[in-house]
């Protein structure tokens, strides 16, 4: 077990820093195993400090102190105290600015946690968010201390010919012994979590962007030499994001240079360090034969996300880490807007909501539930969660819905103008929205402090042209919040007439076809008048609030909405609800031992979709999708993983059997080689034909086997090749082993493609999957020190394969616990994320509960357990 229980940090205990650091001068003498860091800090007492202490405490971890001085005078051992996590100078001037100079040594090669300065392949790079800078030198490592940085990098010129840091390059030169130096200066004050450096043997792709005011910005993407040909899409995505932010938010880039570096070893997706973004290669590198359409879309989205942070995160940053959603929720909303504008808004919205409801709602319903602004944490890295990011984005979206696009833009303009160069809070963001629009959002603020997913129960009554909707809201108790107050919930709605056309109505004296009502009470009635007949109600259009909606509908009404609803989200949602209703009926039949029968309502609804000639083919493909097994499990009081899988597969096979001719026809109509073409039509054709291929292979017939194998062998783009291989792997196709071997041989030098190969096998539903996963752990290409590879195998199996991870014998649980314990000493952040596979143990039967809690206790009792893993495992058990 742990040597000591880690301390909890509370929002209520926040106090301003006693000291501020105005200027930072850093000099690095870079070496894989022994990097010397010299830090010069210009410090002054904070006029807002609430403490009378004369001591200055700086944070630091895993640092070897060489020397320290105050105003040029070396300090003796008695002048300071050194601990594992801090350096305290006992007496510093309180009435004037002063200078602290520190020299220390760090070992990047030994830093497998990938925080601070570390080695990725042969490249040195940094990751300082949230608290990685304290692993570089002793510092006031908190986001409300904003400093101007000057950085000088010194290194062997052959080993590290490229030396990068934040801001603008201000000097460079050669030194004796084959070394050289480059100096950088960032003119903008920033928290140390936005500091970055990169050194290595890198090539770069260059371009430029002309801002709306006519300034020319140099753009550079740095990669290892063999990846230079995979940067074109990332560069164009950056330029698209820069233009979009100018047009949509009026925000212009502020430096003369914008750099991106792609690294293999990275705990997150990317990092918005000022002027020098460090990216996981997964979100930079793309070529039609190595990246899928989804990869291309995700790259553009993540490139946009990190660029948008230049204002929503960098120019205006967080006062403390409890405010993390201030920058992340806001920026996720912005990147969702951007991606929707760049592709299909309907498809983007559905994909975002699908992920939210499948994964974030589960987080809300478990022991790790927390508000988007948490009240406490042990390890801040554990709060880079779906709640903070995705639910945080939904809260921002609700403000956009309530205020309208123009009002929201006014609020953003005021926010950036009022707080540029400051470290602020979520309250400051909401206050700017209020002040810019002359509205009052006191009740809305509860979204920031209340955990859990609200439930809306709707009843309807129609009489003489008047429809009354009675809406009740509630929220299940969550850890530390047994009682919940009513929230301010925007509900966008419309009505459909019997012929499927929009039904006009009167609400609050105005005639309209769509309205947004504000639910603010625990129970509230909304009255709509001037209706000529009882309409079909379309509620929560565009998923206008992150809630669970309960309203009685029969299958025929759901099928009607699936056919006619003009709201693209609700049309898809009706299909999902229809399929879910049928699947849960089949689950009941399975549990009761009854014979399973297909539902003709669903078959005819899908037949209509396949016959539809709508232009948005990607949207049609989504309409043909079945609910994820994880999403279905989240709606059960006790998850029955085998019955869910059996029922869902029965539906898939029934549809494939009944609509085989239609699936074959649509596949043939859209099967063409458009490799390298990424317009909406080409992407849609690939999505639709590959959805059809998936259904056809469910038939387990020789002609469907041949169809999948032929596409696999002939595909010239990764989208078609991986879709075909997935169809082969998730069937009894006799060519499966040969196809897998062929794919690996073809792509073994492309790490990101090999990740796909691992994931495909880890998420397979066929019986031999767990044995395959165990054998892949011994594969030469598997490396526990590479986060992408761990996520592709261990993470994919435990988080995306409920059938086999939750096997009754507990093998999946033991496997995951063993990997967590192994990762704990290598990379605590990744280890903690893997523990999440156990978080929902209370949702399962008693036997599985016992097996999962046993593994959680084994993890908690591990010696020298990191606080990252301890927090997640102990809270899961609590």
Count of alpha carbons within 13 Å of 579, Cβ hemisphere only? 28
CA distance 120 to 111: 10
- Residue 629 CB partners (closer than 8 Å, separation 6+): 641, 644, 645, 648, 802, 803
Among the residues of 715-809, which ranges form H helices?
718-729, 736-747, 751-762, 769-776, 787-790, 796-800, 802-805
The token pair at 818 is 């063993």
Q: Is 306 a catalytic residue?
A: yes
Return the closest-CA partner of residue 9 out of 322, 317, 318, 319. 322
Give strand pairing partners of 382: none
Q: Which of 324, 314, 446, 331 is nearest to 388 (CA)?
A: 324
Q: Which of 624, 775, 679, 693 is nearest to 342 (CA)?
A: 679
417 vs 431, 679, 732, CA distance in Å?
Answer: 13, 37, 61
Q: Sort strands 422-424 and 316-318 into parallel, antiparallel or unpaired.
A: parallel
For residue 56, give the H/E element and its range: strand 56-59
Distance CA 77, CA 89 (A): 10
- What count of Cα atoms within 13 Å lies in the side-chain half-sphere of residue 359? 17
Query: What span, in angstroms and rounded, lies between the C-alpha atoms of 259 and 278?
Result: 9
- Residue 508, Ramachandran bin (φ over 0: left; ψ between -120 and 50: alpha; else beta): left
CA dihedral sign, ordered 735, 737, 738, 740: positive
SS3 assignment for 422-488: EEECHHHHHHHHHHHHCCCCCHHHHHHHCCCCCEEEEEEEEECCEEEEEEEEECCCECCECCCCCCC
Core vs surface per residue 629-650: b (16+ CB within 10 A) or e: bbbbbbeeeebbbebbbbbbbb
Structure tokens at 105: 């040594």
Query: Residue 55: how many CB atoms within 10 A of its CB?
Result: 14
d(CA 529, CA 511): 9
Q: In what order do the strands lie in the sheet with 123-127?
A: 116-120, 123-127, 197-200, 162-165
Residue-wise DSSP of 15-51:
---SEEEEEEEEEEE--SS-EEEEEEEEEEE-TT---
Cα distance from N-terminal residue to C-terminal residue, the chain: 16
Is the separation of the CB atoms in 208 and 219 below 8 Å? Answer: yes
Measure the CA–CA gap between 878 and 864, rounded to whole angstroms. Answer: 20
**Token output for 637:** 């009081």
Q: Cα–Cα distance between 484 and 816 in angstroms, integer?
A: 35
Tell me which of 272, 297, 306, 750 is the catalytic residue.
306
Q: Is the peptide bond before 354 cis (omega within 30 degrees of 0)?
A: no
Residue 753 near residue 721, CB atoms below 8 Å: no
Which residues are known to be catalytic? 306
């Amino acid at each position: 077990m742990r040597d000591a229980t880690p301390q909890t940090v509370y929002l209520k205990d926040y106090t301003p820093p006693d000291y501020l650091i105005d200027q930072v001068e850093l000099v690095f003498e870079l070496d894989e195993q022994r990097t010397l860091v010299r830090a010069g800090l210009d410090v002054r007492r904070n006029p807002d400090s609430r403490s009378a202490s004369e001591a200055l405490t700086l944070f630091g971890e895993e640092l070897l102190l060489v020397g320290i001085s105050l105003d040029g005078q070396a300090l003796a051992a008695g002048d300071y105290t050194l601990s594992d996590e801090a350096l305290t100078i006992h007496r510093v001037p309180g009435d004037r600015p002063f200078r602290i100079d520190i020299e220390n040594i760090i070992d990047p090669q030994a830093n497998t946690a990938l925080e601070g300065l570390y080695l990725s392949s042969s490249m040195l790079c940094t990751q300082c968010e949230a608290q990685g800078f304290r692993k570089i030198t002793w510092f006031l490592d908190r986001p409300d201390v904003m400093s101007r940085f000057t950085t000088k990098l010194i290194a062997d010129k052959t080993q590290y010919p490229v030396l990068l840091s934040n801001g603008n390059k201000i000097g460079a030169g050669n030194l004796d012994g084959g070394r050289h130096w480059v100096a950088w200066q960032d003119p903008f004050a920033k928290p140390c979590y936005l500091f970055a450096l990169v050194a290595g043997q890198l090539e770069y792709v260059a371009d430029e962007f002309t801002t709306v005011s006519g300034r020319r910005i140099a753009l550079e993407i740095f990669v290892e030499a063999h990846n230079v040909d995979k940067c074109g899409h990332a560069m164009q995505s950056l330029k698209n994001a820069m233009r979009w932010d100018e047009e949509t938010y009026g925000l212009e880039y502020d430096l003369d240079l914008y750099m991106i570096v792609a690294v293999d070893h990275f705990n997150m997706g990317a990092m918005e360090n000022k002027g020098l973004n460090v990216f996981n290669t997964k979100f930079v590198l793309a070529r039609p034969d190595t990246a899928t359409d989804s990869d291309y879309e995700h790259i553009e989205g993540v490139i946009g996300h990190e660029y948008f942070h230049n204002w929503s995160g960098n120019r205006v940053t967080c006062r403390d880490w409890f405010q993390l959603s201030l920058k992340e929720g806001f920026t996720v909303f912005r990147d969702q807007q951007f991606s929707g504008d760049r592709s299909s808004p309907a498809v983007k919205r559905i994909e975002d909501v699908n992920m939210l409801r499948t994964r974030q709602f589960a987080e809300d319903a478990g022991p790790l539930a927390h508000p988007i602004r948490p009240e406490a944490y042990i390890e801040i890295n554990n709060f880079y969660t779906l709640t903070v990011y995705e639910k945080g984005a939904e809260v921002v979206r609700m403000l956009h819905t309530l205020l309208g696009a123009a009002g929201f833009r006014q609020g953003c303009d005021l926010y950036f103008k009022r707080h540029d160069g400051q470290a602020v809070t979520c309250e400051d963001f909401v206050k700017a929205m209020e002040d810019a629009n002359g509205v009052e959002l006191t009740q809305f603020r509860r979204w920031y402090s209340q955990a859990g997913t609200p439930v809306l129960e709707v009843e309807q009554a129609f009489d003489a042209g008047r429809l009354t909707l009675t809406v009740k809201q509630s929220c299940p108790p969550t850890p530390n919040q047994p009682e919940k107050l009513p929230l301010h919930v925007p509900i966008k709605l419309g009505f459909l007439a019997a012929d499927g056309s929009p039904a006009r109505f009167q609400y609050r004296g105005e005639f309209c076809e769509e309205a947004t009502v504000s639910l603010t009470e625990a129970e509230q009635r909304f009255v709509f008048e001037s209706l000529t007949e009882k309409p079909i109600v379309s509620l929560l259009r565009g998923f206008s609030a992150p809630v669970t909606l309960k309203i009685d509908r029969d299958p025929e009404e759901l099928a009607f909405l699936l056919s006619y609803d003009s709201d693209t989200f609700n049309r898809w949602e009706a299909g999902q609800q229809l399929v879910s209703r049928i699947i849960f009926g089949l689950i009941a039949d399975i549990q009761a031992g009854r014979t399973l029968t297909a539902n003709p309502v669903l078959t005819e609804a899908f037949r209509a979709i396949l016959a539809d000639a709508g232009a948005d083919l990607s949207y049609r493909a989504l309409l043909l999708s079945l609910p994820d097994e994880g999403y279905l499990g989240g709606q059960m009081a006790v998850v029955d993983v085998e019955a869910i899988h059996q029922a869902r597969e029965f539906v898939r096979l029934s549809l494939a059997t009944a609509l085989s001719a239609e699936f074959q026809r649509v596949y043939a109509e859209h099967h063409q080689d458009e490799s390298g073409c990424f317009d909406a039509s080409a992407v849609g054709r690939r999505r639709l034909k590959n959805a059809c291929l998936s259904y056809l292979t469910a038939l387990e017939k020789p002609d469907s086997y041949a169809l999948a194998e032929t596409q696999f062998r002939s595909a010239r783009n990764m989208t078609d090749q991986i879709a075909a291989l997935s169809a082969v792997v998730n069937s009894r196709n006799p060519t499966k082993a040969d196809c897998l071997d062929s794919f690996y041989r073809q792509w073994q030098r492309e790490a990101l493609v090999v990740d796909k190969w691992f994931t495909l096998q880890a998420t397979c539903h066929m019986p031999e999957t767990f044995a395959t996963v165990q054998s892949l752990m011994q594969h030469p290409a598997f490396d526990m020190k590479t986060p992408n590879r761990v996520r592709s195998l261990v993470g994919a199996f435990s988080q995306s394969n409920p059938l086999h991870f939750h096997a009754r014998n507990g093998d999946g649980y033991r496997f995951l616990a063993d990997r967590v314990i192994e990762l704990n000493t290598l990379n605590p952040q990744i280890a903690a994320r893997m523990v999440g596979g156990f978080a929902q143990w209370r949702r399962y039967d008693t036997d599985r509960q016992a097996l999962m809690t046993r593994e959680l206790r084994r993890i908690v009792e591990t010696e020298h357990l990191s606080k990252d893993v301890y927090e997640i495992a102990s809270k899961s058990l609590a």
